[in-house]
Structure formats: C-alpha cells, structure tokens
A and B are shown apart, each in its own frame.
Chain A
Amino acid sequence: NAGVTQTPKFRVLKTGQSMTLLCAQDMNHEYMYWYRQDPGMGLRLIHYSVGEGTTAKGEVPDGYNVSRLKKQNFLLGLESAAPSQTSVYFCASSRIAERSYEQYFGPGTRLTVT
C-alpha cells in the first residue's frame, strides 16, 4: 500500500515549456487535490476532483489544467511554464467520510522554472 505517490520528484523547466505531473493513490479515495506551497503562503489549492471524470478550480487555477480519467490518478498540466510557477507541488487525496476529511499527501514535486 503505497498511499499517494507523485512523479517526478524534481524538475527544472525553461519558460514556455510544458509538463505533466502525475499523482496516483491506491486507497480508493474519491477526492483528489493539487496544491502548491510557497514560502510564507501556506498550501494553496490549484484544482481538485470529487470523482473520476470531474474536476473543479481551486484558489489559484490560472496556468494549470487537470484531468482525472481514472479514479486513482490525477494529472496536473502546465501548458506554458512561467517563473511564477516555481514552487513545491503536493497532491493529496481523501475519502468521503461522515466526520473526518483527513487528507493524505504525496511527497511533493519541486519545480523550478527558469
């Protein structure tokens, strides 16, 4: 049981390049999320998904796209990378529960855009 995994762990892009970050979870969770974490800002929600085939915008969606074609995978795409997208990206998942909505996080992807 690997939990939440993310690939790649590190990446350096040049401005204008594109890439896709992959998140996978093996806990059969309905909800999945992409966050970015910047110094002093806390985690900010980029996009999220409440189930296979559905996605929604979070707090900072501009410049990113996502897809959830399979329940266990949530992809984050950067079509044309900008230096402002230099950040640590975390994927998370959670189950639907009556009381607790604990999120489980992947190890993160450190992205630098030059």
Chain B
Amino acid sequence: RKEVEQDPGPFNVPEGATVAFNCTYSNSASQSFFWYRQDCRKEPKLLMSVYSSGNEDGRFTAQLNRASQYISLLIRDSKLSDSATYLCVVNKGGYNFNKFYFGSGTKLNVKP
C-alpha cells in the first residue's frame, strides 16, 4: 500500500468554481502534512502546511482529519493560474531522520 494516495484527476473546472482534493495517508504516526504545487516541468513548491486545527491562506483552506487519516485542500474562486498539479506530502518527523512521502499528485485544469 502506498504511503500517500491521491486521486490523479484531472479535475476540470471553470474559473470561479470551488474545488476540493482529498489525500489519504497510511501511517498513523505521521506528524506533519503539506500541500505542494507543481507546475508543468517545474519543481514542487510549498503551497501550505496543514495544521490539526485547519488553516486558511486566502482562497486556500487545508484540513487534517487524523482519525480518518486524510488531508483535504479546498480552493475557492478558482483562477486560471491555479492550474497545476497538487501534491500531498506527509512527514514522519523525528530527530534522526526527516523523511517526506509524496502522493502522485492531483491535476487541476481551470478553464475560462
């Protein structure tokens, strides 16, 4: 079983739409959670960390459900520039190592 699983999409939405992605992780001991954005043929870049209480950054809202072991990302009022692949990332933490596990990504296409 993969450490992190995501629906690959693509999600095709019109501008202004609200879209949500989910991601599940297998290890209940995971400590840190992130959403990264990756544009075509570019490197991943941090979009936002995901905190237990949930957090919001402008049009983006991230939620963590530890009991069900899933993370979500909600994008409101989608823009053309939001078109990208969104990677769910989980970290097991610990002092002696720092390993990250990446989902294969969910592709979002925002259309005019």
Most buried by B among A35, A103, A105: A103
B104 near A50 (CB under 8 angstroms)? no
A101 near B96 (CB under 8 angstroms)? no
The closest CB in chain A to the CB of B97 belongs to A50
Encoded as 1 (CB less than 8 Å from any A CB) or 0, chain B from 20 to 54 comes to 00000000000010100000001111100100000
B46 near A42 (CB under 8 angstroms)? no
Contacts of B45 in A (CB 8 A): 105
Q: How large is the interface on B (under 10, 10 to 19, 20 to 34, 35 or more residues)?
A: 20 to 34
Shortest Cβ distance from A92 into chain B, in angstroms?
8
A105 near B103 (CB under 8 angstroms)? no
| Assembly CA distance A33 to B49 (angstroms) | 19
Contacts of A42 in B (CB 8 A): 4, 87, 102-105
User: A residues bordering B, Cβ < 8 Å?
Assistant: 31, 33, 35, 40-45, 48, 50, 56, 58, 90, 94, 96, 99-103, 105-108
